[in-house]
Amino acid sequence: MYQPSESSPTSASVDLTALAQNVAHVRRLAPRADVLAVVKANAYGHGAIEISHALQKLAVRRFGVATVDEGIALRQAGIQDTILVMGATVPAQFTELVAHRLTPVLYRTDLIPTFAAHARTAPTPYPVHIKVETGMGRLGVSPHELLELLSRSELRGPLRLEGLMTHLADADNRDAGQTEEQLARFQQVLNQVQIRGLAIPLIHVANSAGIIKYPTSLHSLVRPGIMLYGYHTLSKDTQTPELQPILTWKTTIAHVHTISPGGSVSYNRTFIASRQTRVAVLPVGYADGYNRLLSNRGQVLIGGRRVPVIGRVCMDMTMVDITDVPGVQVGEEAILIGQQSSERITASDLAAWQQTIPYEILCAIGSRVPRRYLPLDSPAGAASQSS
């Protein structure tokens, strides 16, 4: 696997002490629930292996991934705790899934006997979770199918029904109607389970938005994702905890030059200077995850001030206008995400400029950007690294 150089001028630093603060918020909001930390998509771009090891030090013992391969990577990195594969799986993956002791989420009735055939080699009944479709319109058995499924003999060996879950589709919306309907449907399912006298150890619904906004979504397990990394997508009028963004993305100015009025910057001449303009060239581009949609729209921090991106963002370089920041020199730091002096740019800012969500911004930071980790209880504290 490609490993970027530690001397790279562009890097992302991840503050594990800030991660600890965010975990504490989860536990404060859901004090009676166990925590399953969602570390899929390389822990939303933060580094799944390093984040998982840090979470283990914070007494998190359950991890959620989207794919079997993500789960295997954690096993190979020494993560021996429970790993729940929450995404789509196919029977061709079941042998590896069992070999690496990954826990599947089963979402179709026909997967039960198929997976049971693979799990017969396990020394004890193999734990599985079942997903119920309550309104996401994605994966999951219907409530009616579930009640029939629960009577299947496979769930009394070789399988053990460890968990029952659903997924909230609209929990970050200001209008609570859809979420309340989903929660009501899932509660009806739980009532039927109780009537049948079935004991299922782990019941889980709450994602990050659910943990923050919907106390009725809190059961025996919660699944924080984006809030671990310091973000949420709830409306501004929702009371939210003081989450700490844990990632700072920075680069180093590679070149500075001046163009005259009428001069242009980058491909297709989308920026034409109306004044004498001092330009800083940053060695970061869309191949690193700094999206081309930020062309003539984004901002970065240099010298403690916001400066605009000018011209097209290139594959490997981005240009910014530093005319109004005196004394900027080659080698100075530029912050793409993070804080510099009193100014801050967040993944939510980049998301707004690109008309997307912070999830996508963080997940898109490329593999050639090295991640550097500030240890738990580091002198830097919970603050993102700044100049």
Domain-wise residue ranges, the chain: 16-229, 247-374
CB 362 within 8 Å of CB 247: yes
Q: What angle do CA 67, 14, 318 make, to 5 degrees?
A: 90
Tokens matching residue 211: 């943990």
| pLDDT (0 to 100) of residue 1 | 52
List residues bridging with 159 in a β-sheet: 126
Query: Percentage of the chain with pLDDT > 90?
Result: 91
User: Which is nearest to 347 in space by CA: 267, 272, 253, 246?
Assistant: 246
Fold type of domain 247-374: Lyase, Ornithine Decarboxylase; Chain A, domain 1 (2.40.37)
- Which residue is catalytic, options 44, 107, 126, 267? 267
How are beta strands 62-65 and 82-85 bridged, if at all?
A: parallel
- Which residue is catalytic, options 40, 131, 213, 250? 40
Q: What is the mean pLDDT of residues 281-307?
A: 98
Convert the pLDDT of each residue in 207-225 to its tens digit.
999 999 999 999 999 999 9
User: Which is nearest to 130 in space by CA: 190, 180, 172, 184?
Assistant: 190
**Dist. CA 215–CA 77, nearest whole Å:** 35
Q: 1 a known binding residue?
A: no
Q: What is the mean pLDDT of residues 117-135?
A: 95
Length of the chain: 387
CB 284 within 8 Å of CB 328: no
DSSP H or E segment with residue 54: helix 48-57
236 catalytically annotated: no
Fold type of domain 16-229: TIM Barrel (3.20.20)
Query: Residue 192 pLDDT > 70, yes or no?
Result: yes
Q: 315 a known binding residue?
A: yes
Q: Is the Cα torsion angle 304, 22, 44, 176 positive or negative in sign?
A: negative
pLDDT-based confidence at 381, cuts 50/70/90? very low
131 catalytically annotated: no
